[in-house]
Chains A and B, each alone.
Chain A
Amino acid sequence: MSSAQRYFRITLLRSAIGLPGRTSRILAALGLHNKRLRTVYHPVSPDVAGQIFAVKELVDVQEVDQALTQQELRELRRPDKGWYVERRAAEGRSG
């Protein structure tokens, strides 16, 4: 069975503020040009591995089987509602 495409799950943990411009440009190339704790998915390849190696002190990397889109990641962050309607007023009282 051929191996499925593996992905790097890259999370920005530390900012590139104060670091040479090259570093923040590499983060931008990876898609991590916004904020800490954002995550992106990239297919495993030597190119991406080299980019990660250049910013290895700033990111956390995991290897996973499936890449999530930004919309899916956002849905995962959505909180639980915390409430549900048990009885509607329109149903009236029982008994």
Chain B
Amino acid sequence: MLTKSLKRALLDSRWPMPPTFLLPWAAGLTTVSHSTAASNLPPPLVSGVSNISRQREALQQDQRAPPRASSGPLASLPELPAANATSSPPALSQSVRELLPVLQAQGPHYIVAHLYDRPYLLTQGDTLRLPFHMKDVEPGDILRLDRASIIGSRDYTLKAATAPPALNQSTGKVSYVDDRLFVCRAVVMGVESDPLHVEEKTKRRQRKVKRVKSKHRHTILRIKEVRVRGLEEVE
């Protein structure tokens, strides 16, 4: 879970500029020749000092996230110095400051939470049947969902600012709301499994029939809490 932030940290490290150009990879892609401008360079992987933010509020672009343990294919990269954990959390934009209390006051709330970048529209009390089996969790574990792209109530919606798609290349990247602004908890109810499904593979005029069994499992979550935090809690 934590290696992703590390990779983003490596990406962002060299550039002191605001990370607009970092999101997504397709930003700035063009078939028109252009001189190498700083904004078009993808951030190289070097020993990093600071960390990238995956989420941006309406007008603010910022860097955050504490250091993560390195692992996987990136372990061979130049060793990271201790990441800059003293960077202050990003400031909230003006519109967020003004309207967050209003959003908070108008319950109930819904949230579009992302698990592995797949969106799920949720509210408190929902039962969520995931399309995958969540490993390493037991029934009764409390999970905190920390990636959301939209939080809303009946009349108000909080979204993350998205970079404009470059050159009609929609890469499906999602930008996330600042996770200090909300709390979303779910409890693991258990695991369901599908009926045994047998897939027959064969060709015409061929007697041999290969049968492949599959029995998929699904983790069931129950959303216990969807809450918008107040400004005092956030800051």
A28 at the interface (CB under 8 A from B): no
Contacting pair B7 A79 (CB below 8 A): no
Q: What's the minimum C-beta distance from B183 to chain A, rounded to whole angstroms?
A: 10
Interface size on B, residues (CB 8 A): 46
Report B54 CB to chain A, min CB distance, Å.
7
Q: Which residues does chain B contribute within 8 Å of A78, judged by CB atoms?
A: 4
Q: Does B131 touch A at the CB level, under 8 Å?
A: no
Residue of A nearest to B120 (CB): A82
Interface majority SS (helix, strand, loop, mixed), chain B: loop
Inter-chain contact B116/A85, CB cutoff 8 Å: no
Q: Which of B3, B4, B11 has the most CB of A within 10 A?
A: B4
Question: B164-175 interface mask toward A, CB cutoff 8 Å, 1 = contact, 0 = none?
Answer: 000101010000
CA gap between A76 and B139 in the complex, in Å:
31
- Assess the A62–B40 pair: CB atoms within 8 A: yes
Q: Please name the residue on chain A nearest to B168 by beta carbon.
A: A13
Q: Give the residue among B26, B42, B137, B186 with the most A Cβ atoms within 10 A.
A: B42
The reply to whether A82 and B44 form a contact with Cβ atoms under 8 Å apart is no
Query: Smallest Cβ distance from A86 to chain B, in angstroms?
Result: 5
Interface set, chain A 23-59, CB cutoff 8 A to B: 37, 39, 56-59
Bound form: Cα–Cα A84–B143 in Å: 6
Q: Which residues of A contact B (CB under 8 A)?
A: 9, 11, 13-14, 37, 39, 56-60, 62-66, 68-69, 71-72, 75-76, 78-90
B residues lining the A interface (CB < 8 Å): 1, 3-4, 7, 11, 25-26, 29-31, 33, 36, 40-42, 44-46, 54, 72-74, 113-117, 136-147, 167, 169, 171, 176, 185-186, 188
